[in-house]
Amino acid sequence: MRIPSKNARQTTVFERSPIPDNIIARALSGSAKGSFWLADVGDRTVYPQLTAELDADLAIVGGGYLGLWTAIKAKQRGIARVVLLESETVGWAASGRNGGFCEASITHGDLNGEARWPHDMPTLKRLGDENLDAMERDIAEFGLDVDWERSGALDVAVEEHELEWLEADGPDSEVLDAAAVRAQVNSPTYLGAVWHKRSSALVHPGKLAKELARAASELGVEILENSRVIGLEARGGGGIVLRTERSAVRAHQVVLATNAFPSLLKRYRLLTVPVYDSALMTEPLSAAQLADIGWTNRQGIGDLANQFHYYRMSKDDRILFGGYDAIYHYGRRVDSAHEYRDETFRTLASHFFTTFPQLEGLTFSHRWSGAIDTSSQYCAFYGLDLGGRVATAAGFTGLGVGATHFAAEVLLDLLAGLATERTELAMVKKKPTPFPPEPFAYAAVQAMRASLDAADHRAGRRNLLLRAADAVGLGFDS
């Protein structure tokens, strides 16, 4: 018998029995281009455009989760005039395109947090748990109709080497063997899992954005859509001027919540790269199909590969299936032309039917992509600039649904000059390692992606590049 080299490339579960092209083509043939979540939102409220100069106590740039939570929390803290400027429409970008996974972790998982801020991790973990509970209370208090489900999450092993990574992290998590996890969700790819029963929730992303805007507006926040900010200037005597193409806002303080888009402050532009993540949404499953897969506890699911998949059920029994094929485009541009990469959607469809072969014949209703604001520390960083008048948070790296709720409080603490448990965190005080400028950024990201793929094909073994990146705190994640 020939014993394979430890460096031999192994086929993954998604490569061993490829799905025929005709099945993939048929499943994708009728799918609409665009986010299911945004198409499914019943609220069609349109907010006005900025057409005349105005003054504000706090101006917020960005109408996604971070900007909207900050606006709401600002009003709760008694800030009089809060103005929110959105370049397109509320929730149009990442907040309307994500998977709707709302995690307790504010560090992109315990392992990442422990590697970067080991002394702060007990506090970070507690604050993350408290944040998820607080977000749940806020959703109830404001009566937000967002399909909230505190259903927990399954981290599933689909390769033998991933089994050794399965470990319970507290009384509310449980390690499952192959039979136990398949009793939860029936996929032949599952070898084991950890079930985190309280540290994860699901939400309808589009409804969350629209409902947050409604709540903010009812509190007195002035939301202005189609009002792209093209310049930021510090004016003499204090205050900031935000210029749009048609007018301007003069504000005492400003929050920048622009996610993957280039920051209005140049000093932050190398701290993120926009990485495109993609997803498919199926048509609703029939009663027979639901019986075939089980999934009665409706957990969110993610596998343990470097290039991982995430998937979940919607309220009307569709399956969202996304991840794996994260793409960076040269030049850091966020561009709608990057949103429909056929190769990515075919790959996702193939992997979907490998995961659930009993659902062959099911079709996809929607396909879409969106840009993730990826930072080298995998989670948000913070900044306070221009004499304490401009606060920034960015770099959530795909886990911002819950973490933006926490970040809103951090930003308001910073602007208020408060020394709180949140502001004293090393994660808040220190900036991540910047990504290099082009052409080096593109070369580095492609090399990193190739290395992550290689690790998935070599039983998780990380090569020299990945180990060096780990050592200096420069990362990449989908």
**Three-class secondary structure of residue 329 per DSSP:** coil
Please give the Cα distance from 26 to 17 (Å, whole number). Answer: 18
pLDDT (tens digit per residue) in 370-427: 999 999 999 999 999 999 999 999 999 999 999 999 999 999 999 999 999 999 999 9
- Tokens, residue 208: 């969350």
| Cβ proximity of 421 and 406 under 8 Å | no
* Sign of the dihedral through C-alpha 171, 175, 179, 183: positive
265 DSSP β-pair partners: none
> Does the structure show a pLDDT above 80 at 478?
no
Rounded to an integer, what distance in angstroms lies between the CA atom of residue 325 and that of residue 345? 9
Question: What is the structure's pLDDT at 7?
Answer: 54
C-alpha to C-alpha distance for 222 and 275, rounded to whole angstroms: 31
The structure tokens listed for 329 are: 């485009």
Average of per-residue pLDDT values in the chain: 95
Tokens of 369: 């992509």
* Percent of the chain with pLDDT strictly greater than 70: 97
With 50 as the cut, is the pLDDT of residue 5 above it?
Answer: no
- How close are the terminal C-alpha atoms of the chain, in Å? 38
pLDDT in tens, 262-272: 999 999 999 99
Q: What is the mean pLDDT of residues 151-159?
A: 98
Residues 257-295: tens digit of each pLDDT: 999 999 999 999 999 999 999 999 999 999 999 999 999
pLDDT tens-digit series, residues 193-246: 999 999 999 999 999 999 999 999 999 999 999 999 999 999 887 899 999 999
User: Per-residue pLDDT for 456 more than 50?
Assistant: yes
pLDDT of residue 301 exceeding 50: yes
For residues 413 and 423, is the Cβ–Cβ distance under 8 A?
Answer: yes
pLDDT digits (tens, 9 = 90+) for 131-146: 999 999 999 999 999 9
This prediction's pTM: 0.96
Q: How many CA atoms lie within 13 A of 188 on its CB side?
A: 12
Residue 169 has pLDDT above 90, yes or no: no
* DSSP assignment string, 160-227: GGGGGG----STTEEEEEHHHHHHHB--TT--EEEEESSSEEE--HHHHHHHHHHHHHHTT-EEE-S-
Is pLDDT of 433 > 80?
yes
Nearest to 145 by CA among 64, 213, 235: 213
What percent of the chain is predicted at pLDDT more than 90? Answer: 90
Res 193: pLDDT: 98
pLDDT tens by residue, 200-212 = 999 999 999 999 9
Does the pLDDT of residue 106 top 70, yes or no?
yes
Burial class (CB in 10 A: 0-12, 13-18, 19+), 413: buried
* pLDDT at 3 (0 to 100): 36
Q: Label residue 476 by pLDDT band (50, 70, 90).
A: low
Q: Report pLDDT for 8.
A: 64
Confidence bin at 43 (pLDDT 50/70/90): confident
Sequence letter at residue 260: A
Exposed, middle or buried by CB within 10 Å (0-12, 13-18, 19+), for 258?
Answer: buried
Beta strands in 375-438 (DSSP E): 381-385, 390-394
pLDDT of residue 474: 65
For residue 475, name the pLDDT band (cuts at 50, 70, 90). low
